[in-house]
Structure 1
């Protein structure tokens, strides 16, 4: 649980060194509901760090809060986190969302994590739009 908590705090602190330290070299990062133009899967710490590196050009503050962390009784290395974001974008617009992230921690490092969120607010924050079909 401490590893996932440290990772989320590193997001809030924009501490990329801590993020790198907590990720295993072979880490897999998945964003299964990512909007078009965003990767759905990144393999390896270098790919994850390369994806994260330009984020400060778009986001002023992360603002993760209401963080709740749970572990599976059967495997304490399986950590499920629930949290909200209240980000300020460079554009400037606010970006608010809710997340569920599932971490797999082995030997003190994150080897896999899957982030679930509503992609619509993200698309809008980056200047796009989502138009529902006519019914």
Structure 2
């Protein structure tokens, strides 16, 4: 992606890469020292990943667990900081192991510098993965 890419355009591109299961391409959007945080991560799950390599290791098996089909309801909000956006969206698809539906609501705060993601705080619902027999519906439906 060119350095002049806006944070919103870079984020939209990142979603296309996830739908294409192009994890190396997705990781390539990150700054070398980027930080990914999960403020609501349950016990035993990572709360903070520091550096592109740690993020790559975390994301590498993602397509083996979740087969994403779409990101409906995408809303990208600009902030007073031109390098930071707030994103609301849903990720829908299926869980590979059980072939059950996946539908999770997300809110993310994403900061970009020089065309690379430097910070991504992912506010997802940990209760959806802790409840036995869940269908990962995180959209309140």
Q: TM-score range by the shorter chain?
A: 0.7 to 0.9
Q: Quick one: distance in 1 between partners of 2:16 and 2:43?
A: 27
Pairs aligned (count): 126
Q: Which of 118, 127, 130 lines up with 1:111 in the alignment?
A: 118
> Greater strand percent: which structure?
1
Structure 1 segment 42-57 matched on structure 2, within 5 A = 42-57=49-64
Q: 1:22 aligned to 2:42?
A: no
Comparing 11-20 with 106-115, greater Cα deviation is found at 11-20
Which SS does the other structure have where 2:45 is aligned? coil
Q: Quick one: distance in 2 between partners of 1:94 and 1:123?
A: 15
1:81-109 Cα deviation digits (max 9, x unpaired): 11012220011221212110110000110
Provide the TM-score with structure 2 as the length reference. Answer: 0.81
The match for 1:81 is: 87
Which SS does the other structure have where 1:29 is aligned? strand
RMSD after superposition: 1.8
Q: Quick one: distance in 2 between partners of 1:116 and 1:62?
A: 20
- Name stretches of at least 5 consecutive residues in structure 1 with no aligned partner: 129-135
- Name stretches of at least 5 consecutive residues in structure 2 with no aligned partner: 1-7, 135-141
Q: 1:12 aligned to 2:56?
A: no
Q: 1:39 to 1:77 in 2, by over 3 A?
A: same
Provide the TM-score with structure 1 as the length reference. Answer: 0.84
